[in-house]
Chain A
């Protein structure tokens, strides 16, 4: 889906935990996330900290959308 949406002309950032799958399906901008059942959260954290973690990940995703890339790029730490 990432690839097919991007084909229509928008940059797409894929936020996912299993990065090798994202690379296989052809995502160009990839932000690795926390865990499969809770990519954008961590139930072990305090709610405020968890939200802060999510905010950081979303900021990273927006950063990825504003970054020119030549090919598949993983936006790690």
Chain B
């Protein structure tokens, strides 16, 4: 049996090009394995060969979506693969989105299977898990040791032409099969069980949409009280509350009263998920305090809540973010705020 040809997609960090300062690296390809590809190659041994690796910086991919998609797809195609591995992207938001987008591109254009690894809270997961076999992995690279064998196990099955039935997150796709009893009979059976208080299993679980309806618009912005919130980590110089650069366990509340403009002396970012150079030079680039203060003076908004709220939305758990938001909202209610500007990086 000949070995399956595999292409691996990774970001600039795992390719060893660099961290956030290199996140704007455009797509490139290299023959053979790079970075974590070596561990995959070892695990896949004589079943599959990683013939090429396609690399793109996380910021570049997300900021130039169309261009990078086309280029990455072209590079993947150039190796004529039978299987594509993406990531694993763990809980890295932009990387997860890139892995997911690549999975969709490959699925829809090359019609070959994709194997990936994401943490369930990664935004790329909910959006793209239907396009590939995404293994549930930990939230950071420390789980690479368990991620590689789990992903490799699926690649091996695919390479052998076997059906893959487990070891990945549900794709949410329907699959046709012939049932013994017809639908009406099954439905009545279920209903009878329900009436009798017995357990039954639905054939069509309802998706959970946790959406919040849009709140009514502000009628007159020149009378409205506005508040500023950010998940981009804008904090006073020195990060007095020591908000973590990733997986934040807290948020900060800081007075806007004495700040009309951010400078390198009074503000910085605590966020560890992007290149901080631009934010540290002028934090208005993350939280537009200079402009909002001018608009306040010009009467373009009614008033400004005296504090800004900041946390770091880098690998921060949904549960934490939800708790922060609730505390922030209670504060805003108490101060009769009418509308919120929330910036993210």
Residues of A within 8 A of B (CB): 1-18, 20-22, 24-26, 28-29, 33, 35-41, 43, 51, 54-55, 57-59, 61-62, 65-71, 73
Contact = CB atoms under 8 A, between A and B. Distances in A.
B63 interface: yes
- Contact-residue size bin, chain B (C-beta under 8 Å from the other chain): 35 or more
Contacts of A69: 214, 217
A25 B218 CA distance: 22
Interface stretch (B171-179, B199-207, B322-330): B322-330
Given A4-B322, A26-B211, A37-B20, 16 more contacts: A3-B210, A4-B325, A6-B214, A8-B330, A9-B333, A16-B343, A24-B123, A25-B123, A36-B59, A38-B279, A40-B284, A40-B343, A43-B285, A55-B295, A58-B292, A59-B300
B218 A12 contact: no
Given A15-B343, A15-B344, A62 B328 contact: no
A28 B212 contact: yes
A35 B333 contact: no
B231 interface: yes
A2 B210 CA distance: 13
B119 to A, nearest CB: 14
B332 interface: yes
Interface in B20-49: 20, 23
Contacts of B274: 36-37
Contacts of B256: none
Contact of A12 (B97, B211, B276, B340): B340
A39 B329 contact: no
Nearest to B224: A65
B279 A28 contact: no
A2 B232 CA distance: 13
Residue in A13, A16, A33, A40 whose Cβ sees the most chain B Cβ within 10 Å: A40
B337 interface: yes
Given A36-B63, A71-B214, A62 B221 contact: yes
